Amino acid sequence: MVLATSFFASLLLLATAKPLGPHTMVVHESRAAPAEGFVQSAAAPAEQELTLRIALKQTNIAGLQTELYKVSDPASKFYGQHLTLEEVAEFVKPTDETLAAVSSWLSGNNIDAKPVTPAGDMLEIKIPVSQANDLLSAEFSVFTHIETGKTFIRTLQYSLPAPLTQHVEFFHPTTIFAPPLASRPKFVAASPAKRATPGSDDLPGSCTSTMTPACLQELYGIPTTPATQKSNTLGVAGFIDQWANQADLTTFLTSLRTDINSSTTFALETLDGGSNPQNRSQAGVEADLDTQYTIGIATGVPVIFISAGDDNPDGLNGFLDMIILLINDPSRPSVLTTSYSFQAETDLPLSVAICLYLATCATRTCSWALLVPRCSSPQAMAVFRAASPRAAGTMSPPSPPAAHCAITSVGSTGGINQFPGISEVGSTFSSGGFSNYFPTPDYQAEDVAAYLAWLDSLGTIPEDGRFNRSGRGFPDVSAQGENYEIVVDNQFGTVAGTSCSSPLFASVIALLNDELVAAGKPTLGFLNPFLYSSVGRAALNDVMFGDNPGCATDGFFGHAGWDAVTGLGTPNYTALRTAVGL
Ligand SMILES: *[C@@H]1O[C@H](CO)[C@@H](O)[C@H](O)[C@H]1NC(C)=O
Ligand SMILES: *[C@@H]1O[C@H](CO)[C@@H](O)[C@H](O)[C@H]1NC(C)=O
Ligand SMILES: *[C@@H]1O[C@H](CO)[C@@H](O)[C@H](O)[C@H]1NC(C)=O
Ligand SMILES: *[C@@H]1O[C@H](CO)[C@@H](O)[C@H](O)[C@H]1NC(C)=O
């Protein structure tokens, strides 16, 4: 906040800078048509207020990425020395020249700008449609998302004065058409409908057919003793009116964690008009799953449910707003789990920029790991894997090398006790593949090369030509994701999906962070360089079997070492403790 204030001061000082002289307008971003699934329905009302974010060119994002890897790599002497807010700002803050150029242009047009990030590299302005059209030589219109009927104000093109193009990364949301977020777990009510009986102990079935906290603790060696450090918290992201119900949580804990206080609750943080109403009939399957399997596994770790409402100006269902909120919060959770995803990388041309902000976040003190299960429907996988070129005219890529997404992606396993001598098998819905946006990061390069060589040795690669061999491979790790027993609207039932795996893996990391803080050590931060290191991978159970068919193909196959179904494998808590130096 100190930084934001000083940024304000410089903005005021510079407001007296010379206005731009006569200039030509240069197209900054454009597209021929809205994204598939959207139609243009009307001109946008001239007086309607738009909230726009302006991402300014950052000073040295490549330098920040180098630092991120240094502090995240156990082999580096800088491991765990997460950067401070001020140190990160040195890499991402715009130059004085950029600030002067942009602020004099805005003040010359009587527009107030407010910085939304601590280093002032992203500004927010609120102006009517008519002024936005003039300022940016744009034609803001109403577009309708056909499937949901939701409307969005976007433009197919906008321009900037020529002298500003070198200072501005992008205006947002303008030419981005992101469909509403999805979460996919389907709740299958226990049959016959089993109403909760507090204290009943007949609920946990065998782990083969029903996953419970006790099964997962046993399988992965996860401790049941409570965490001790109140400063180390675990964040659970909530979007699209998915609400987490306390009464359902209490019922869940009463039956499935009889050893802990069944009234254990979560804290609530909201943004974009978010809320968390407690009428039991409004409980969300995803939100109930996520809170039950973080509080039920990360025993004693304070959990914060972060609920983004529908009033989100970010054009991304609150995703970017949530990242900005966390970047600005010095006591942010050390781990965030999100089970929501866009269907395909191409839905989110802004992903590159978002990843830059994630990198900013992950580099900091009180570091942050984000666990994102990718979409898991076959159709979604097909879109993700198909090597579709970047849509023409989307946001210009940031200067190379682009930061790799500072995210740990979690796939799913199942098949407990089903095959002699094999404890886990990749789930058919475990999403995996290769990115078209992000190149294979160094920490993963050997694994991806070995996996591709093995695929090549098979003679026929079912997916050949349909995925990007030089992209970042995912998932990074995996965890059980089938038949999770949960309580929704006072009813027991089961769910499956990577939506189960991500809260589980996040809970394991939160418990390790608790022990690290107790031992006076830094939390884990961005996990991947550790996970892929020789110590990290040795603490994971390699899952060698399974495939993830989709798109009328057999999908990828499980294999020894990293594979595009289960990543490096599932957690072994005891071994991870040792691996992180406890
Ligand atoms: C259980 O947790 C609730 C909510 O935090 C608290 O009010 C209550 O005192 C706790 N009960 C015990 C026995 O610790
Ligand atoms: C809870 O929601 C149901 C269904 O929408 C409604 O019938 C009921 O009145 C609500 N209860 C309360 C206390 O708001
Ligand atoms: C494949 O991935 C690389 C590395 O991220 C990228 O540069 C390239 O554009 C991608 N290819 C296609 C066809 O998208
Ligand atoms: C987990 O790691 C511990 C310690 O390294 C080891 O003894 C145990 O066999 C491992 N468990 C599994 C399931 O591999």
Ligand nearest to the CA of 489: 2
Tell me the pLDDT band of 396, cut-offs 50, 70 and 90.
very low
* Whether residues 295 and 199 fall in one domain: yes
Q: Which atom of ligand 2 is nearest to the CA of 282?
A: 2
Between vectors from CA 364 to CA 358 and to CA 369, what angle results, nearest 5°?
A: 50
Tokens of 171: 């205006």
Sheet bearing 425-426, strands edge to edge: 425-426, 410-414, 477-480
| pLDDT, averaged across the chain | 81
Q: What are the residues whose beta carbons fall under 8 Å from the beta carbon of 304, sequence distance 6 or more?
A: 233, 234, 235, 236, 266, 267, 268, 269, 333
* Whether residues 128 and 272 fall in one domain: no
User: Residue 9: is its pLDDT beyond 50?
Assistant: no
* Whether residues 117 and 239 fall in one domain: no
**Which residue, 491, 510, 526, sits at the end of a domain?**
526
Which of 492, 479, 473, 495 lies closest to 556, judged by CA?
Answer: 473
The winner for highest mean pLDDT among 8-22, 48-62, 266-280, 403-417 is 266-280
Task: Pick the residue whose CA is nearest to atom 9 on ligand 3.
Answer: 436
Q: Which atom of ligand 1 is nearest to the CA of 261?
A: 1
User: In the beta sheet, which residues pair with residue 566?
Assistant: none
User: Residue 349: is its pLDDT beyond 70?
Assistant: no
pLDDT in tens, 160-170: 999 999 999 88
DSSP per residue over 74-93, as a string? Answer: TTSTTTT-PBPHHHHHHHHS
pLDDT in the model for residue 548? 82
pLDDT in the model for residue 552? 59
Tell me the pLDDT band of 390, cut-offs 50, 70 and 90.
very low
pLDDT in the model for residue 460? 65
User: Residue 525: is its pLDDT beyond 70?
Assistant: yes
Q: How many domains does the chain have?
A: 2
More confident residue, 125 or 405: 125
Nearest 5°: phi and psi at 356? -65, -40
Question: What mean pLDDT is predicted for residues 106-121?
Answer: 92
* Whether residues 264 and 219 fall in one domain: yes
Question: What mean pLDDT is predicted for residues 465-488?
Answer: 87
Examine residue 79 and state whether it is found in any structural domain, yes or no: no
Examine residue 277 and state whether it is found in any structural domain, yes or no: yes
* Whether residues 98 and 156 fall in one domain: yes
Which residues constitute the domain of residue 265?
Answer: 188-382+392-438+477-526
Task: Pick the residue whose CA is nearest to atom 11 on ligand 3.
Answer: 436
More confident residue, 333 or 385: 333
pLDDT in the model for residue 360? 58
Tell me the pLDDT band of 138, cut-offs 50, 70 and 90.
very high
Distance in angstroms (rounded) separating the CA atoms of residues 149 and 126: 25
In the chain, the N- to C-terminal Cα span, in Å, equals 34
The dihedral region occupied by 224, where left means phi > 0, alpha psi between -120 and 50, and beta the remainder, is: alpha
CATH code for the domain in which residue 308 is found: 3.40.50.200
More confident residue, 132 or 5: 132
* Whether residues 246 and 328 fall in one domain: yes
Distance in angstroms (rounded) separating the CA atoms of residues 203 and 523: 36
User: Residue 366: is its pLDDT beyond 80?
Assistant: no
More confident residue, 420 or 297: 297
User: Residue 401: is its pLDDT beyond 50?
Assistant: no
Cβ-contact 14, 100 below 8 angstroms: yes
Examine residue 33 and state whether it is found in any structural domain, yes or no: yes
Examine residue 572 and state whether it is found in any structural domain, yes or no: no
Question: What mean pLDDT is predicted for residues 131-159?
Answer: 95
The dihedral region occupied by 270, where left means phi > 0, alpha psi between -120 and 50, and beta the remainder, is: beta
* Whether residues 198 and 152 fall in one domain: no
pLDDT in the model for residue 258? 95
- CB 265 less than 6 A from any atom of ligand 1: yes
Examine residue 469 and state whether it is found in any structural domain, yes or no: no
Q: What are the residues whose beta carbons fall under 8 Å from the beta carbon of 72, sequence distance 6 or more?
A: 79, 362, 525, 526, 527, 528, 529, 530
Tokens of 419: 């095959």
* Whether residues 235 and 198 fall in one domain: yes
> Binding site annotation covers 188?
no
pLDDT in the model for residue 461? 61
Examine residue 464 and state whether it is found in any structural domain, yes or no: no
Sheet bearing 122-128, strands edge to edge: 114-115, 122-128, 49-56, 168-172
User: Residue 421: is its pLDDT beyond 80?
Assistant: no
> Binding site annotation covers 561?
yes
Tokens of 51: 């909230």
Task: Pick the residue whose CA is nearest to atom 8 on ligand 2.
Answer: 279
Strands (E), 293-348: 303-308, 335-337
User: Residue 443: is its pLDDT beyond 60?
Assistant: yes
* Whether residues 163 and 200 fall in one domain: no
